[in-house]
Every structure is written in structure tokens, then in C-alpha cells.
Structure 1
Amino acid sequence: MKELFTIGEMAELFQINIRTLRYYDDIGLLRPETVNPETGYRYYSTKQFERLNTIKYLRTLNMPLEKMKQFFQNRDARVMEQILEDQLFTTREQLAQLQNMERKLTRRLEQLRYALNAPMEEVRLVTLPQRPVAFLRRQIAQGENLEYPIRELERMNDLKPVMFLGKVGVTVDLKELRQERPTRFSGIFVFLEEEDNYQGGAQTLSEGDYLTILYSGTHQGSAPYYRRLFAAMEERGLVPAGDAVEITWIDSGFTQDVSQYVTELQLPVREG
């Protein structure tokens, strides 16, 4: 039986990169059986097989190399038990984070598909559920860049920047809506989701009936679409039930092409 194996043979036997074996040697995780002092070539024996098998197994568990070194320096079943318990706890935490991210990605994808596929410039009467939001009531000129109010909203509510993509909206009060061309927002908000783990004070957008319309463009192009909503409201014998909501589902966070922007107006209504 062959007694010594070159690093290349060892790498082939265990399907591992030669550079990885060199690194394991450098950090003291897996020393070769012997090193030729003249050439520097590493040679391994069957004594290293079991250890490398263990290393590969622990790597599949995503265990840090430093913890592996600790185990090999004090090989004991109880030590391994504790290491595995710690790794299980870490893995469960990572799994929860990944599931959280999956839900966020699914929701963003649903919103994007909604904006891409919903009928444009069509007035619809829909019933929307109560929606939790972090809200900043502040007069904002329609032409003002919303980045500063967003940062203010973020700071005042201790929000994470990752929460904002595709989730920011503004409100317009009834007095402003009755103007020929609304020029100011009455507040700015970000939708809150369970995955955000938000601990601050939340407000809600009311549950109820809304007249809605989607159009291609930004908040600045809302005036003619509000007129269409008010015309539809009068035709149906309805009256406003609160501030309007504007949401830009597709904006510069998704595309550089302004023609692809999609904004939705939502006007709460009730029987007159």
C-alpha cells in the first residue's frame, strides 16, 4: 500500500483545491506528514485522511475554521457536542434571516409585477386593508426632492434604509386636492412589514374603499388623474373619506428610464 501522497494526489482523492490544502497547512489545521526540506514539497499519509474527512464534514456545516482548530486541539466528544450546538444555533439564526429575506424579495417582486401588469389610466374601485406605516406629517412642495424628507422620516423613526425600496408614499390632504393643481404633500410615509421588526410607533392607512388609478410618470404628473378620480367619484355618488395616497411603485430605484415610472393614486371614498 502506498504510504505517502503528494499534495496533488491528496487534492484529487478528496476533491479539494490544492490551494486550500496549502492554506490548511499555513494555519495549522491540517499539517502534512512530512515536507521535503530541499524542495518544500508536502507529502501526506493515511493518518491525515480521517482528519481531512472530518474537516470536510464540518465545512458542510459551515463551521468556522477557528472552531475546527479548537476541536482538534482538544478532541473530546463533549467539546464536539458544544461546537455542534453552537453551530446549530447559528444556522437557525441564519435560516430565519434567509426566510425573512425571502418574504421581502417575494413582496418586492409582487409589487413590481403589479406595477408592470396592472391596467394603466383606468379608474377602479377597490377595497384595501388597513396598512401600517411609519409617518411623517410635514408640508412638502410637490417639486421638492423627496430624499431629504425620507432621511428625516428614517431618522425620526429609527428606520433602516433597506426598508425603503418600493415602499415610500406621500399623502395629499383634501383641501389641497380641491385645488386645480395640487402643489403640496401633507406627509410622507413608508409601509411597515412584519419582517422589518420595527419597534417604533406605527400609524395606519385606513381600511376601506378607494378609487385608484395608475399612470406612467411621477408625482408631478398627478393633477389630470386626480380630476379623473373626482369625476368618477361624483358619477358614483361617493365623497372623499380622507387624505389621498400616492405611491410611486417604479422609480429611479428600479430604472433610469423615466418613461417606465409607475405612480398610483389612491383616494379613500365613502357613500355620500
Structure 2
Amino acid sequence: MKDYFTIGELANLFAIDVQTLRYYDSIGLLVPSHRDAHNGYRLYKFDQIYQVASIRYLKRIGYSLNQIRQYLDSRTLEHTMQQLHDQSQELKRRWNELIDIDATIGRKLEFIKQQLPLVDLQHIVVKTFEDRYYLNIGSEESLYGSDVFYFHPTMVFYHGREKTFGAYLFASEKPEDALVLPRGQFLCAYHQGPYETIHERIAFIRAHAQGLHLADWEVNFNILDQFVERDSNHFITEIQIPILSQQ
């Protein structure tokens, strides 16, 4: 049995990079027990193998390097049991969070798959919707800093040139802070292309309302947006204008 390992031998034993061990040394997490007086090479005692194994295990169960240092410096039976219990609870919390995120991603994918076959760039139609729910995001400045932008279809409310954003919620989602887009009839058409040209499309739709009394605002549902498509010419949005009455 070897008494000492060089840094290369220890790295090979655990299939980790030599630079990683040097970094552990620099932050005091795993300091070599000896340094060769002639060449400065790091030498690790055999029992430091168990310290490396502990570090690798703790990293695998989600500990940061700072947490690992604290853990290794304060090991007692009582403290270790409490630390592992707390980490188990944290991992379960993260697991549940990841499950929720995965479900939301799945619903967004399903939304795109359902909507794309319905896209008809030629016609303007009247559609009837039940109550729909969404989360308020606010201004465009708030949009990209919000996680819901990435996990939910984006809604854009236009009042003339002013716009605010929301995140469309699927039927299975209705958090306490959800807002409602009331049921009713909407004059609907699709727009393909950059958002800068969407007002031209809105004006075209309103010009072909054929006796319908329309609200003075619109809600747009982004089907393909900058999160999905790089080329803005491929963006697809459904424009929906509430119908107040028919003449």
C-alpha cells in the first residue's frame, strides 16, 4: 500500500482534473500533507483518499464547495445526521421544482404543437372563448427578467401604441394571483413577421370588421417568438380583438 500519492496519481484515481486538486489546495479544502522540498510537488497521504471521496460525494448530493468545507470541519454524529437530513429535504424541494418546470415546458411544447396547424394567414374569423387566465408581467422592460416568459406562451395587450405583457396559463394552472381574460367573442387573425409590423395587421383586421363593434384594445398570443425562432420573419402571433356587439 502506498503511503503517498502525487497529485497526478490522485487525480487519475478519481478521474478528476489535476487543476481541480490544485484549486482545492488554493482554497484550503484539500491541502497536501507534504510538499517535496526539492521540486515543490504536492504529496497526499493515503488517508486523504477518503477526504477526496467525501468531497466528490458531497458535490454529487448538491453541496457547494463552501458547504463542503463547513461540513468536513464540523463533523460529529449529531451534526452529520442533521446536515444530511437537511440536504435530503433540499434535494426533494429541488426535485419537485424541476418536476413543475418540466411539466410547464411540456405544456408550452404542446401549445405550439396544437396552435401551428391552426395558423391561417389568409382569413379573419370570429372565435368564442371561455374565461382564460394569465399572470401579469407588466412592461417590456420586465419581460425578459421574468421566468414565466420562458415557460408560458406570451400574451401582449395593446392599447393603441402602449403594450403590457402577460403569461398565458393552461387550463390546469390557476394560481391565486392569476388574472382573467373574460369569456366572449373575438375577431381573430394571424400575423407572421416582425412585431414592428403588427400594427399594420391590426389596422387591416379592424378595417374588415364588417359591422362589428370592437373594443379599443387587442390581445396577441405569441405562438412562435424570439425564444423559439431566431428569424423575426418567422414569428407567428394570433391577434384577438374583443367584440362588444354586432350591428
TM-score if structure 1 supplies the norm length? 0.66
Q: Contact conserved, 1:135 with 1:203, CA < 8 A, in 2? A: yes
The root-mean-square deviation of aligned C-alpha atoms, in Å, is 4.1
**Aligned match of 2:220:** 247
Worse-matched range after superposition: 95-104 or 16-25: 95-104
**Aligned match of 2:192:** 216
Task: Quote the offset at 1:162 in angstroms.
Answer: 4.1
Q: How does 1:228-243 map to 2 (within 5 A)?
A: 228=208, 230-231=209-210
Which structure has more RCO (C-alpha within 8 Å, separation ≥ 6)?
1
Q: How does 1:188-227 map to 2 (within 5 A)?
A: 188-191=164-167, 193=169, 203-217=179-193, 218-227=198-207
Task: Quote the offset at 1:4 in angstroms.
Answer: 2.1
Q: Contact conserved, 2:220 with 2:239, CA < 8 A, in 1? A: yes
- Residue 21 of structure 1 aligns to a residue in which SS? helix
Task: Quote the offset at 1:36 in angstroms.
Answer: 0.8
Aligned partners of 1:27 and 1:188: how far apart in 2?
48
1:261 to 211, 217, 235: 235
Worse-matched range after superposition: 202-211 or 57-66: 202-211
Worse-matched range after superposition: 8-17 or 25-34: 25-34
CA distances 1:32-74 after superposition (whole Å, capped 9, x unpaired): 3322122111122321122222221111102122222223223
Aligned partners of 1:54 and 1:135: how far apart in 2?
46
Letter in structure 2 aligned against 1:170: F
Aligned partners of 1:188 and 1:54: how far apart in 2?
51
Q: How does 1:36-47 map to 2 (within 5 A)?
A: 36-47=36-47
Q: How does 1:122-141 map to 2 (within 5 A)?
A: 122-124=123-125, 126-133=127-134
Letter in structure 2 aligned against 1:264: E
Letter in structure 2 aligned against 1:132: Y
In structure 1, runs of 5+ residues without a counterpart are 137-148, 173-183
> Would the alpha carbon gap of residues 70 and 135 (structure 1) be closer, same or farther in structure 2, given more than 3 Å must change?
closer
Aligned partners of 2:136 and 2:49: how far apart in 1?
61
Identity among equivalent pairs (%): 26
Aligned partners of 1:186 and 1:28: how far apart in 2?
56
CA distances 1:141-172 after superposition (whole Å, capped 9, x unpaired): xxxxxxxx8259x69xxx96444565232256
**Aligned match of 2:157:** 170
Q: How does 1:141-156 map to 2 (within 5 A)?
A: 150=139
In structure 2, runs of 5+ residues without a counterpart are none
